[in-house]
């Protein structure tokens, strides 16, 4: 007979159990000091030892060992249902099925935070069956889902997969707020439509991420039958068509939008008024090519935007910011191959007036940083980013002396608000070995009260 794996359900069978009472010198039974810890403190201790994921480095969660310490600890833990309401499985094994069932039972009526990740698909058929088993158990408690995150690697989604049997109903998942699906195997367009049709019917969803590894030409907005009126966070690939624009227009509460990629539609866009996203404060864009991005920006207004993260650039960014009259605070730029004049125009434009934090990274040593440093240099009659407080630059291949000139021009200004500078520089071997670089000497001797400076060569 195979040994049955039991997780903390039979106290007598657990080795290393401690007695819950000890005898005082006069023969009376007294509670040990360990039992004097208040239950609420014990619960916080138990939460502290919860790992991020149960997987190869932590197959059995520490709380399973903690409830073996004594009867008091076990009672406290089992009476606190929230301790069992978070289940994060990383490369699950067969005995985790028993654990999942036990935790779901112990969590009682608590909202559930669930995660399932598979990175290594050894014995593919066996792992596929195991994943389907765990998902089937999860779905039995769909009415309690608060958050679900799936990263299934190359695990195929077969026709009998529980994910394809999610009910399409407004009342099926009343607590569900976060749906993050990072990658699933064999995710055909039909699988996408079936899965997101169900998820799209749950009106409580506030955060949705669909980060598929393969570009299927099927994007999140095109498979949702109706917008989520309460949606605040959205990350996905998109197809720029009328369905996507209609979807955005129906998301007035959207606060965070990350466009992984944006593709042109074969059908032309119908004329429509500009779409205002009145709650959007963060826009992240890593979209290529830039043509559909330019078209999208022409359709938008973002009056509350405060943070902009760019991995792509087009001339319409300045127009969008000026038209929206937003007060941009944070700007992050990841430069691959932009025209240098465009970068300078952006940094010197009027929408940069309120920017307090600038982060610029050059991804290639072939790109010159000269225009960036020149745009940031204060000149008579030209003030760029006057509100800048934090500056982070990852640069290489710039002309010697430009960096020190830029920093000196800003720090010598009595009205300068710059308080934190972080530099990651590639200046060549001679400079790193103590050559006569003016920039290196300037950084070594730079000491300004109230300015936190760090640099890496």
DSSP result, 242-259:
HHHHHHHHT-TT--EEEE
Q: 200 is written with which tokens?
A: 């799209």
Query: What does the pLDDT average to over 362-366?
Result: 69
Q: What is the residue-averaged pLDDT of the chain?
A: 81
Given this model, what pLDDT does residue 106 score? 93
Given this model, what pLDDT does residue 429 score? 47
Given this model, what pLDDT does residue 432 score? 47
Query: What does the pLDDT average to over 401-425?
Result: 88
Confidence of residue 412 (pLDDT cuts 50, 70, 90): confident
Query: What does the pLDDT average to over 22-29?
Result: 49
Rounded to 10 degrees, the C-alpha dihedral 381/386/391/394 comes to -40
Query: What does the pLDDT average to over 290-303?
Result: 90
Rounded to 10 degrees, the C-alpha dihedral 11/16/21/25 comes to 160
Given this model, what pLDDT does residue 193 score? 79
Nearest alpha carbon to residue 116 among 142, 86, 149: 149
Q: What are phi and psi of 25, to 5 degrees?
A: -65, -25
In 242-306, which residue ranges form alpha helices assigned H by DSSP?
242-249, 290-298
Return the axis-axis angle of helices 71-79 and 39-48, rounded to nearest 10°: 80
Neighbours of 239 (CB within 10 A): 19
Instruction: Tell me the pairing of strands 29-30 and 22-23.
Output: antiparallel
Q: What are phi and psi of 278, to 5 degrees?
A: -70, -15
Q: 443 is written with which tokens?
A: 């950084």
26-40, 142-156, 390-404: segment of lowest average pLDDT: 26-40
Asked if 76 and 138 touch (Cβ cutoff 8 Å), the reply is no
Asked if 219 and 238 touch (Cβ cutoff 8 Å), the reply is yes
Given this model, what pLDDT does residue 153 score? 78
Given this model, what pLDDT does residue 116 score? 92
DSSP state for residue 54 in the 8-state scheme: B
Given this model, what pLDDT does residue 133 score? 93
129-133, 282-286, 422-426: segment of lowest average pLDDT: 422-426
Query: What does the pLDDT average to over 329-346?
Result: 78
Place of tokens 């990263």: 151
* All residues at 6 or more sequence positions from 69 whose CB lies less than 8 Å from its CB, including other chains: 17, 18, 34
Q: What percentage of the chain has pLDDT greater than the value 70?
A: 79
Asked if 265 and 290 touch (Cβ cutoff 8 Å), the reply is no
Neighbours of 83 (CB within 10 A): 22
8 has a pLDDT exceeding 60: no
Confidence of residue 51 (pLDDT cuts 50, 70, 90): low
> Counting beta carbons within 10 angstroms of the beta carbon of residue 210, is it exposed (0 to 12), middle (13 to 18) or buried (19 or more)?
buried
Query: What does the pLDDT average to over 25-36?
Result: 59
Q: What are phi and psi of 259, to 5 degrees?
A: -100, 105
Dist CA 299 CA 321 (whole Å): 12
Rg (CA), the chain: 28
Q: What is the pLDDT of residues 79-107, one digit of tens each?
A: 888 889 999 888 888 888 999 999 999 99
Stronger pLDDT, 167 or 157, i.e. the higher one: 167
Stronger pLDDT, 183 or 250, i.e. the higher one: 250
Query: What does the pLDDT average to over 30-42?
Result: 73
Nearest alpha carbon to residue 239 among 292, 282, 275: 292
Query: What does the pLDDT average to over 258-263?
Result: 87
Highest mean pLDDT range out of 59-73, 209-223, 403-417?
A: 403-417
């Amino acid at each position: 007979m195979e040994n049955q794996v039991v997780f903390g359900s039979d106290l007598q069978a657990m080795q290393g159990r401690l007695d819950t009472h000890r005898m005082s010198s006069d023969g009376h039974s007294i509670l040990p000091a360990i039992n004097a810890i208040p239950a609420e403190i014990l619960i916080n201790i138990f939460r502290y030892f919860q790992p991020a994921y149960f997987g190869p480095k932590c197959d059995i969660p520490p709380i399973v060992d903690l409830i073996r310490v004594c009867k008091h600890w076990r009672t406290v833990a089992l009476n606190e249902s929230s301790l069992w309401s978070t289940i994060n499985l990383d490369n699950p094994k067969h005995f985790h099925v028993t654990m999942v069932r036990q935790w779901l039972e112990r969590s009682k009526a608590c909202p559930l935070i669930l995660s399932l990740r598979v990175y290594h698909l050894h014995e593919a058929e066996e792992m596929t069956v195991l994943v389907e088993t765990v998902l089937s158990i999860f779905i039995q408690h769909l009415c309690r889902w608060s958050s679900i995150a799936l990263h299934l690697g190359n695990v195929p989604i077969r026709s009998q997969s529980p994910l394809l049997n999610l009910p399409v109903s407004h009342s099926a998942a009343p607590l569900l707020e976060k749906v993050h699906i990072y990658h699933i195997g064999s995710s055909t367009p039909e699988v996408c439509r079936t899965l997101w049709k169900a998820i799209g019917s749950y009106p409580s969803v506030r955060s949705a991420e669909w980060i598929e590894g393969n570009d299927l030409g099927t994007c999140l907005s095109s498979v949702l039958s109706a917008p989520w009126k309460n949606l605040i966070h959205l990350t996905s690939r998109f197809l720029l068509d009328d369905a996507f624009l209609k979807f955005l227009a129906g998301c007035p509460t959207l606060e965070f939008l990350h466009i992984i990629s944006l593709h042109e539609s074969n059908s032309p866009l119908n004329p429509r008024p500009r779409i205002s996203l009145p709650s959007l404060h963060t826009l992240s864009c890593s979209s290529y090519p830039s043509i559909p991005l330019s078209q999208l920006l022409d359709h938008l207004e973002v009056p509350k935007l405060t943070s902009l993260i760019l991995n792509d650039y087009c001339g319409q960014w300045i127009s969008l910011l000026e038209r929206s009259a937003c007060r941009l605070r944070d700007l992050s730029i990841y430069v691959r191959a932009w025209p240098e004049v465009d970068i300078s125009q952006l940094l010197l434009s009027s929408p940069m007036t309120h920017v307090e934090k600038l982060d610029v990274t050059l991804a290639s040593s072939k790109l010159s940083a000269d225009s960036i440093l020149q745009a940031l240099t204060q000149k008579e009659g030209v003030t760029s980013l006057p509100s800048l407080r934090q500056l982070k630059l990852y640069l290489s291949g710039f002309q010697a002396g430009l960096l020190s000139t830029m920093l000196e021009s800003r720090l010598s200004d009595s009205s300068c608000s710059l308080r934190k500078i972080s530099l990651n520089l590639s200046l060549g071997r001679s400079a790193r070995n103590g050559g006569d670089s003016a920039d290196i000497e300037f950084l070594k001797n730079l000491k300004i009260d109230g300015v936190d400076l760090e640099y890496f060569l």
